[in-house]
Structure formats: structure tokens, C-alpha cells
Structure 1
């Protein structure tokens, strides 16, 4: 897969800087553990079926590097050059080619058996129009019969009592995290307070637009994709009304009406 591509206008996504990129792997260490990562890689490798895969928002290669080690050719699109620089410490451009650009409009050459987007990252696109374009961009890159996969949380709206402005998602000795959500615009901000070794506290925030599973299905339909599977996690647990996350799979039809 050549690394030549078309990169277009930057989206409304937050742009991660060099300092954030350098700290990313350590700050997200829990997402790199075998019990978290292996089921995701297993799931994606099965769907790729030996064909090439494209990761939107490839980041530092948390998923792409072990997936490529399984023999799946992986390419990526990533908005942040500093994140790509961190990826290059693990894999060369020949091993995992990456184009710097946004995942709603940037294109890479070739067709893929699998396009995937993990760890809630579609929410980084902060308008509905951009999220629809992300689905269309996935469909644009898929070979007939290929699949688009996203991993996404289910908004915890039911946990909001009247008048409350935020809901916690992580409370631990080292980290306090909570989301503020706007019910009208579906805009949100994740707030992170991290206790450092020297006793100080570092604050960080990231902005997003939350999406409901049914809204994802409509976006997929607009992109010409058909639903194939929805489970609660990478292990394949059933998706229910109590699920707090989902892994959803849509397929590009083999032909019109297929």
C-alpha cells in the first residue's frame, strides 16, 4: 500500500500536541493490557480475513501494531503528526503507512477488507455532518463485502439526576474523570484530573459529540452500508439495554441490493 494520499480540510476534532502525544501511551496504559487489547485484535483480525485493514485515527498504533504482527496489512489516517511520530518509534512507514489528515475526508489509495475506528474516537468529530462523512469515507475505502467497525460508549444519560451537570466515568487513586454533556447539542467534554508522582495534579480535557447506536445505524445507511453485527464488547457479549458500550459492524454490499 503506497503512502500517497489525499488530505483535505481539518475537522472540528481537537488536535493533540507533542506533549500529549508523548504521554499518551503511559496515560492510557490500561488500554494496552493483554486482557483489553487481545480481544480487540482477535476480533479485527477475524473480520479482516487476511485482507488489508485501514485504521481511522490510528494514533500511536495501540491496535495497529499488534494487528500488523498478526499478518494483517495495516494502513492508517491520523490527524496529529505528533501521534504519528510516536507510532514511528514502534513501526516504520513501510510497515504501517500513515497519512496525516482527518478521518472524515482524507483518502488513501486502494481498497480494504476492513476499516475500523476504536476507543470512542468517532466522537472526536464534533458535528453530525462530519460523523456522517466519516461513515461515507469508510465506505469509500471498503472493497465490496468489506466491513466498517467502530467501538463506542453508550452515553450515560440515565445516570444524570435532575440538575446534575456531570457524570463520573473513572474514580481511582491516580485519576478522576468525568464528562459534562449537553443534552440539546450532544456536545460533551471529558475532564481528567491525574495525580502525579510528585504530588501535583495535572488537568486535561477533550471535546466530543456523543452518538446513540441507532444514530450510528442511520449514518451507516446514508453511507450505503448494511448492519451485520452489534455486540457489547470485543468478547462478543450480547448488546442489551444495560450495555455501556458497543462494537458495531456494518458491511458494504457486494452489489446493489445485496
Structure 2
């Protein structure tokens, strides 16, 4: 199955970001991808953390969700909509949610980011808990590919990558592919991004597809990019360092089975 990680450098207006996302989704579909995944905050990287409150949507309706559903129908794509802000009932808090649409435009899964990023090195300060409400549940979904295989896919977002127990729970559920839409900072990304992605792939004998924000944003933020596909042996199959683009790669069922047969570590778990 061909998959695509869409790398963006999202701006401070939803309209501009949806236009860019639409172009990237079209490129992915034209290249033969069955699944396309957008990065975290693809629809908005605001000037302030609170900017996302103004564009929050109720679950199941709103212009961002309508856009993604229409793109899925028009392009015949499975789409994972990076993340977008969904209402919680509290005016000062939203969920950072990753939503899945089938090629018919039907919403099939929702994952709310569980682990909220916090970082302070004296020069850069981030604390997502000031605006975001954390999710609580891991979420998997099944994707029947055109070749007749069914892929089990585990959902996660950005900072979740530092918590291996989440991905181990997906491995226990039979996940073949782990998704990590992200907006890693340039500082933390340079230090840890590839290392963590390859570790999650190796320890869970699963493919990892990680679309990211990558560049200099209107709000002054610098994101690391390096959207990539990693195979279960820990090899980086495709990567784009910076700038907008589409990272394409093939998931191979036979290769996955071979790696798991040769190194049956998942069956050797004790704890």
C-alpha cells in the first residue's frame, strides 16, 4: 500500500492552510497513495496559543472537517487530518484531535492527543496544557487496502512519541502502522525526532509514518520537519528535511511478516 506524509509550513489563517493542504492531498492522490496524513496543527499555527480557540469546531461539523471529508470523497483517499481543535464544552479548552476519513468521506475514527507538550530551556517555552485538554484513550482503526490486505493503524500525535507505552498498547492490538502527525520544534526535533521514530518502529515491529511541520512560520516558530516513513527494521524509507512537500512510500505486507518471523520479539514480552 502506498502512503503519503504531507509536510507543511502552516500559516496563521485557516483559509490559507486549507488551500495548501488541498494541493498536497491532490499530489498524494495523483501519485497513487491510498492513505495521506497531514501534520499536527495543519489548519492553524497561530500567533498565540489561544488562537486555536477561535477556530474550534464541534465534533462532526465545521469548515475544517467539511473540507477534509470533501477531499476524501473527491480524491478517493483515506485521510488522517493531522490535528484540529475540537470543542470540549469549556470555552478555554479544546482537544487536539486527529480524525480519520474513508474514501467515501465518512468519519471513521478520532484520537485526542493524550500527552501535552511542555518545554522550557530558558529561550523557548511551550505548555500545551494552558489551552488543550488531554485525551485519555488510545485509538486504532482498520484500513482495507486495494490489494486485499487489511492494515491495523494506531493513532498518536507529536509529543506522544516520547511515551513508548502508548505504542506498545498498539502493538498488543496488532498494529501494522503507527501514525505520528507532528509539529516538533527545531530544537527538540534535531535532538530526538529521528531517534524516537526509529525506536518506535523497531520495538513494535511496525511501520511508522510521521508527517511534520517543517520550516519558518509566520508566528516566528521554527519546526524541524523531516517528515518520514520508517520500516519495522528501523530504516528510513523516505524523508523530506524542510519545506512543503509529499513524502511517499510503500508498505509491504510480505516484508512485515518476514521481519516479525525472523525476530519474534513481540511474542517474547514478559511485562
TM-score range, shorter chain: 0.3 to 0.5
